[in-house]
Amino acid sequence: MVINTNLSAQSSAQMLMQSSTQLSKSLARLSSGSKITSPADDSAGLAVSMKLTAQMARIDGATNNVGNAVSFNQTQDGYLQKVGDALNRMSELAILAQDITKSTSDRALYDQEFQTLDKYISDVGTKDFNGVSLFNGNNLNVTVDSEANLYQMSGVDLGTTTYTTLASDSIAALTGPNSATKALDDIKTAINQLASDRATIGAHIENLTFYSDQLGTLKNNLSAANSRIMDVDVAQESTRYAKYNILVQSGTAMLAQANALPQSVLKLLQ
């Protein structure tokens, strides 16, 4: 029996320290809700989680870009709907101006409304969306995923001759190079072009909506994968916490008993 070296106390102290460390980790996990509270807990898992988190952040950015592009297209289509209404009315006026019972002054009144509607169409061509022209015909590239891949939206140009020709038309006369007949032909051409432009915009909106849905699904899957790495299983961790809590209490009691053993040496000295 020795006094200077208490192996039982040293062993108990070491076991108590290990149990206390595990108890502290369990408390940290339960309080934070995270399985990994320091890189030492799972260095590889932390590295994977960081990559997944960064990718999800990029997906959020791409989702915003796609959403803004959809809004851009919807704004375009809203204007083009009104352009369509204007062209429909202009075509109606061109037909009315060909009525043989109408006088020259009547046709002049029709032409006045015709020219006003044409100016409206020209004005729509100057509109923009947050400083980006809506109808200059430029193609726009939209970032549609976390790797910055692009989807090209073909532009709509209200400055093409199909639309601008209407500015030189007049329905004040029945026949001739600048007459209601020619104006009607030009309007029908513009309506056909407008139908094509709106169909193109509709296709863009549909495709971008698919991209948006795809991004949402991908983010959900990445989030689930990241959760399996990072999020603590509360039920499982609570069981560990109870285990280590008991071990700490019992280890503390055993260390007290081990520290008391050398006192038995006093009985030999009596």
pLDDT at 2 over 70: no
Average pLDDT on 41-61 reads: 93
Given a cut of 80, whether residue 36 has pLDDT beyond it is yes
Within this chain, do residues 11 and 97 fall inside the same structural domain, yes or no? Answer: no
In a domain, 189, yes or no: yes
The average confidence (pLDDT) of the chain is 90
Is residue 62 a part of any domain in this protein? yes
More confident residue, 201 or 2: 201
- State how far Cα 191 lies from the chain centre: 35
Over residues 151-184, the pLDDT tens digits come to: 999 999 999 999 999 999 999 887 666 788 999 9
- Clarify whether residues 68 and 179 are in a common domain: yes
User: Can you say whether residue 79 is alpha, beta or left, with left for phi > 0 and alpha for psi between -120 and 50 degrees?
Assistant: alpha
The stretch 130-155 carries a mean pLDDT of 94
Give the per-residue pLDDT at 157.
95
Whether residues 26 and 139 share a domain: the answer is no
Q: Which among 121, 128, 109 is positioned nearest to 165, based on CA atoms?
A: 121
Are residues 177 and 60 part of one domain?
yes
Helical ranges in the chain per DSSP H: 7-32, 43-96, 104-124, 161-164, 180-230, 234-260, 265-269
Q: Quick one: 61 and 180 in the same domain? A: yes
Tell me: pLDDT of 55 over 80: yes
Q: What is the CATH number of the domain that holds 80?
A: 1.20.1330.10
Query: Are the beta carbons of 232 and 34 closer than 8 angstroms?
Result: yes
Q: Are residues 124 and 250 in the same domain?
A: no
Predicted confidence band of residue 240 (pLDDT cuts 50, 70, 90): confident
Q: Does some domain include residue 204? A: yes
Q: Name, in order, each residue with C-beta under 8 angstroms of 124's C-beta and a sequence gap of 6 or more.
A: 79, 82, 83, 135, 158
Whether the pLDDT of residue 35 is over 80: the answer is: yes
Tell me, what's the pLDDT at 176? 60
Supply the pTM of this predicted model: 0.81
pLDDT value of position 93: 95
The parent domain of residue 67 ranges over 43-230
Least confident of 100-109, 140-149, 173-182, 189-198: 173-182
Q: Are residues 148 and 247 in the same domain?
A: no
- The answer to which of 107-116, 172-181, 197-206, 261-270 has the lowest mean pLDDT is 261-270
Residue 263 sits in the same domain as residue 226: no
Residue at 38 is within a domain: no
pLDDT score, position 30:
87
- Whether residues 47 and 163 share a domain: the answer is yes
- Check residue 148 and give left, alpha or beta (phi > 0: left; psi -120 to 50: alpha): left
Higher pLDDT, 41 or 263: 41
Note whether 54 and 91 are same-domain residues. Answer: yes
Lowest-confidence range among 31-35, 53-57, 138-142, 162-166? 31-35
Does residue 223 share a domain with residue 245? no
Integer-rounded Cα radius of gyration of the chain: 39
User: Tell me, what's the pLDDT at 270?
Assistant: 65
Within-domain flag for 179? yes
Query: How many domains, the chain?
Result: 2
pLDDT at 123 (0 to 100): 96
Q: How many CB atoms lie within 10 A of CB 182?
A: 19
Residue 213 within any structural domain of the chain: yes
137 and 100 belong to one structural domain: yes
Residue 2 lies in a domain: no
- Tell me the C-alpha distance between 46 and 53, whole Å: 10
Buried b (16+ CB within 10 A) or exposed e, 22-42: bbebbeebeeeebbbbeeeeb
Cβ 13 vs Cβ 266: under 8 Å: no
Report pLDDT digits (tens) over 78-131. Answer: 999 999 999 999 999 999 999 989 988 999 999 999 999 999 999 999 999 999
117 lies in some domain: yes
